[in-house]
Homo-oligomer: A and B are copies of this chain.
Amino acid sequence: MKITCSRQNLIKGVSTVNKAVPSRTTMPILYCVLINAEADQIKLTANDMELGIETVIEGAILERGKIALDAKLFFDIVRKLPDNEVTIETGESFQTKITCENAEFKLIGQDADEFSPLPFVAMSDAVTLSQFTLKEMIRQTIFSIADNDSNKIMTGELFEIKGDKFEVASLDGHRISIRKEVLNNQYEDRRLIVPGKSLQEISKILPGDADKNVNIYYTDNHILFAFDETLVVSRLIEGNYFQIEQMLSSDYETKLVINRRMLLDCIERGSLLTSESEKKPVIFDIKENQMELKIRSFVGSMNEIIPIQKEGADLMIGFNPKFFIDALRVLDEEEITLYLINPKAPCFIRDEEEMYTYLILPVNFNEGDY
Chain A residues within CB distance 8 Å of chain B:
70, 73, 76-77, 80-82, 102-108, 265-266, 268-269, 272-273, 299-306
Given the known interface contacts A107-B299, A299-B108, A300-B107, the answer about A305 and B102 at a Cβ–Cβ threshold of 8 Å is yes
CB <8 Å contact, B70 and A299: yes
A80 pairs with B299, CB closer than 8 A: no
A104-B303 Cα distance, complex, nearest whole Å: 5
* Additional A-B contact list (6), CB under 8 Å, known A103-B269, A104-B303: A80-B265, A82-B265, A104-B304, A105-B273, A105-B300, A108-B300
Q: Is the CB of B103 within 8 A of A304?
A: yes
**Which residue in chain B gives the minimum CB-CB distance to A101?**
B304
How many Å lie between the Cα of A157 and that of B273 in the bound state?
Answer: 40
Cα–Cα, bound, A320→B76 (Å): 19
Residues of B within 8 A of A299 (CB): 70, 73, 107-108
In angstroms, how far is the closest chain B Cβ from the Cβ of A292? 9
B106 in contact with A266 (CB, 8 Å):
no
Q: Which of B76, B77, B269, B306 contacts A80 (CB 8 A)?
A: B269
A104 touches B302 (CB 8 A): yes
Q: Are A272 and B304 in contact (CB under 8 A)?
A: no
Taken together as a complex, chains A and B put the C-alpha atoms of A360 and B208 apart, in Å, by 49
Taking CB atoms, residues of chain B closer than 8 Å to A272 are 73, 76-77, 80
CB distance from A119 to the nearest CB of B (A): 30
B80 and A302 contact, CB distance less than 8 A: no
Q: How far is the CA of A166 from the CA of B351 in the complex (A)?
A: 67
What's the minimum C-beta distance from A89 to chain B, rounded to whole angstroms? 14
Q: How far is the CA of A104 from the CA of B301 in the complex (A)?
A: 8
Q: Which residues of chain B are near A265, meaning CB under 8 Å?
A: 80, 82
Taking the closest CB of chain B, its distance from the CB of A273, in whole angstroms, is: 8
Minimum C-beta distance from A217 to chain B (A): 38
Query: With A82-B265, A299-B70, A299-B107 known to touch, is A304 a contact of B102 (CB < 8 Å)?
Result: yes
A82 / chain B contacts, CB cutoff of 8 Å = 265
The 6 closest A-B pairs by CB, nearest first: A107-B300, A80-B269, A103-B304, A76-B272, A106-B301, A104-B303
A70 to B273, CA, bound (A): 11
Q: Choose among B104, B302, B305, B306 the residue that contacts A105 (Cβ–Cβ < 8 A).
A: B302
Q: How far is the CA of A103 from the CA of B305 in the complex (A)?
A: 7
Complex Cα–Cα for A299 and B108 (A): 6
Tell me the smallest distance from the CB of A345 to a CB of chain B, in Å.
Answer: 28
Docked pose: A306 CA to B101 CA in angstroms: 10
Shortest distance between the CB of A135 and any CB in chain B (Å): 28
Instruction: Point out the residues of chain B lying under 8 angstroms from A76, CB to CB.
Output: 272
A268 surroundings in chain B (CB, below 8 A)? 80
A105/B301 contact (C-beta < 8 A), A80-B269, A269-B80 known: yes
Task: Report the Cα distance A269→B98, complex, angstroms.
Answer: 12
What are 22 A-to-B residue pairs whose CB atoms are below 8 Å? A70-B299, A73-B272, A73-B299, A76-B272, A77-B269, A80-B269, A80-B272, A81-B269, A82-B265, A103-B266, A103-B302, A103-B303, A103-B304, A104-B304, A105-B269, A105-B273, A105-B302, A106-B300, A106-B302, A107-B299, A108-B299, A108-B300
